Amino acid sequence: MSTVDLVRGGSRGVTSTLRAIGIARVLLRHRLDDFLKPTVLGPWLWLLKPVTPRRSGEGELPRGQRLRLALQELGPIFVKFGQVLSTRRDLLPPDIAQELTLLQDRVAPFPGEEARALIEAALGKPVSEIYSEFELTPLASASIAQVHAARLQDGREVVVKVLRPDIRKRINADIQLLRTLASLADRHHPNAEKIRAQEVVSEIEATLFAELDLQREGANASQMRRTWLGSDDLYVPEVFWDYSTETVLTMERVRGIPSDDVAALDAAGIDRKALAAKGVRVFYTQVFRDNFFHADAHAGNIWVDAERRDNPRFIAIDFGIVGQLDRRDQYYLAENFMAIFQRDYRRIAELHIEAGWMPSHIRIDELEAATRSVCEPYFTRPLSEISLGEVLVKLFKTAQRYELTLQPQLILLQKTLLNIEGVGRLLDPKLDIWAEARPVLERILRERYSPQRLGEEFRKRLPELITHAPDMPRLLHDFLAQQVRGQHSIHMRSEDLAELARISKAGQRQTVYAILGTGLMVVAAVLVGLDAGGPRLFGIPAAAGIAGLGAFGAFLAAWPRR
């Protein structure tokens, strides 16, 4: 390593150390000593305290509020850090998680002339050629970007979002500092395994850098608009791709009332009860029908169309954070909700294990009892007072004692669900969230697993089945030959599977039936695909007969072992 590199490395180290000391002093000013004691800075508090004046009267405030105020003082990146951290309710005490959701991402704007220069550099044209009007004073300014009002040459009103100058460099520097602090927490914090600081920093980094790509945000908005186009429930503004890049995003300008401004909604004559019910239905539809939900659904990003009184409609903006679940998690989450509706605690326990969220060695009866202890107290209340999001958070927290492992997207969904329910109850305090959510879930599950939908899925996969069909006879022959020669073996991955050795004979028999059944059904699919059922025997298409034999083989495979 060269002398220059060493000097640069030393300079970065000094800068990080000074920044860490600055952070410590801010936390001390807000009387957050407890956050520092378990860290490497703990022993140095006696040195920092005399040079750090305390905020008067702040010692009486709750710790969550003091932490929120400290993050706001530390600057925009730490505000964003707090917002992302608020989604990790599995890691934070409830009082802190709730308080961090109140962080407002508002910072002083940068000059409009500089924004115009950045837009021209990104789009390769003077602003006057792209927009007939462009307002230099921003409509809003946040830690990542700011927004300006403009008008296209054809007269349509738009908003132009532009990234802040040097934002990537600043985020990189703060992420490196957070990495340093996380490594200190890993080494010195007594609850390091529970906190998983490096994992949290990685999640923050991924979220921040996703928000730095405005083309990605535009794509999110475009997909959601396509899904809800013409809807009476949700409106998504149009993206103008000719005037958008990774650093500039031009979208249709929309106007509305923030969804938490009850006074303004009442003044506009909006039916709040109908609006609240729609909010719940929209969320569950996005999660379980579209598998694409707005995951930053606070009142600042969800407005209400002031022009529609009796049939109100939401307006969504800011699509930097969206959520998706894989098909397995989506299915198991829907089934969990239905089991909660039916108070089927055994089913909830089984689903957690089937989904792979929990290891298979967990005893079902213990998990069922723990689930019952969480859910039963809620059912003593009227349904209009029950928060499904709260129940889900408590279930996941209880299940953590039984080695629960969750994907970040499920945590994101938890946070969004709580936001939606919070807005819904603000609009209509007597909103029965269960009554609104259940029909949506039942309808979507019924449609998803209907014979028609299964037939569509089969047709989609038919080319793949046809491609692999020629290999089936050889694979089947090889497998049967192994059985005859006694060469077939089972690879054990756990001591728990040793029990399978005692019933391997029956298991192998069922495996043969399963493969025969699958092979015959694939052959039937090929015949259908090639010749509308193939030849006939006694007037019955051969494909139907082969499929029937395949189904019979699958039935034998599913017959319980004795």
Q: Which residue has the tokens 């395949």?
A: 550
Whether residue 445 is found in the same domain as residue 477: no
More confident: 74 or 345:
345
Could you tell me which of 389, 422, 448 has the C-alpha nearest to residue 279? 422
Residue 488 reports pLDDT greater than 70: no
Whether residue 249 is found in the same domain as residue 122: yes
Whether residue 319 is found in the same domain as residue 386: yes
Residue 169 reports pLDDT greater than 50: yes
Whether residue 378 is found in the same domain as residue 497: no
> Does the residue 145 lie in any domain?
yes
More confident: 71 or 118:
118
More confident: 208 or 137:
137
Distance, CA of 253 to CA of 241 (rounded, Å): 14
Residue 296 a catalytic site member: yes
Whether residue 179 is found in the same domain as residue 314: no
Distance, CA of 301 to CA of 105 (rounded, Å): 12
Whether residue 110 is found in the same domain as residue 216: yes
Whether residue 113 is found in the same domain as residue 162: yes
Distance, CA of 386 to CA of 407 (rounded, Å): 25
Whether residue 382 is found in the same domain as residue 441: yes
Whether residue 250 is found in the same domain as residue 320: no
> Does the residue 234 lie in any domain?
no
Whether residue 271 is found in the same domain as residue 418: yes
Per-chain mean pLDDT for the chain: 77
Which pLDDT tens digit goes with each residue over 277-292? Answer: 999 999 999 998 899 9
Span 433-445, average pLDDT: 85
- pLDDT-derived band at 305 (thresholds 50, 70, 90) equals very high
Residue 214 reports pLDDT greater than 50: yes
Q: Which of 449, 471, 505 marks a domain boundary? A: 449
Residue 235 reports pLDDT greater than 70: yes
Residue 240 reports pLDDT greater than 90: yes
Angstrom CA distances, 258 to 174, 303, 306, stand at 32, 4, 10
Span 524-540, average pLDDT: 48
- pLDDT-derived band at 2 (thresholds 50, 70, 90) equals very low
- pLDDT-derived band at 319 (thresholds 50, 70, 90) equals very high
What is the domain count for the chain? 4
Residue 10 reports pLDDT greater than 70: no
Q: Which of 389, 415, 449 marks a domain boundary? A: 449
Which residues contact residue 498 at a Cβ distance below 8 angstroms, ignoring those fewer than 6 apart? 492
> Does the residue 391 lie in any domain?
yes
> Does the residue 322 lie in any domain?
yes
> Does the residue 171 lie in any domain?
yes
Question: Alpha helices, DSSP H only, in 2-137?
Answer: 3-29, 33-36, 45-48, 63-74, 76-85, 94-100, 112-123, 127-130
Which pLDDT tens digit goes with each residue over 18-60? Answer: 666 777 777 777 777 666 555 555 555 656 666 566 666 666 7
Distance, CA of 487 to CA of 197 (rounded, Å): 49
* Strand order, beta sheet including 234-235: 234-235, 314-316, 302-304, 257-258
> Does the residue 49 lie in any domain?
yes
Residue 321 reports pLDDT greater than 90: no
Whether residue 298 is found in the same domain as residue 341: yes
Span 151-168, average pLDDT: 94
Distance, CA of 53 to CA of 233 (rounded, Å): 52
What is the percentage of the chain residues whose pLDDT exceeds 90?
26
Residue 91 reports pLDDT greater than 50: yes
Q: Which of 59, 86, 104 marks a domain boundary? A: 104
Q: Average the pLDDT over each of 252-266, 336-350, 397-411, 454-468 and give the range with the smallest value.
A: 397-411
State the pLDDT at residue 340. 83
> Does the residue 233 lie in any domain?
no
- pLDDT-derived band at 87 (thresholds 50, 70, 90) equals low
Q: Average the pLDDT over each of 173-182, 344-353, 376-385, 432-441 and give the range with the smallest value.
A: 376-385
Which pLDDT tens digit goes with each residue over 101-127? Answer: 777 667 788 999 999 999 999 999 999
Q: What is the DSSP string of 482-499?
A: HHHHT-------SGGGGG
State the pLDDT at residue 391. 80
Of 90, 296, 305, 318, which residue is the catalytic one? Answer: 296
Q: Which domain holds residue 313?
A: 257-449
> Does the residue 160 lie in any domain?
yes
Whether residue 163 is found in the same domain as residue 64: no
State the pLDDT at residue 498. 47
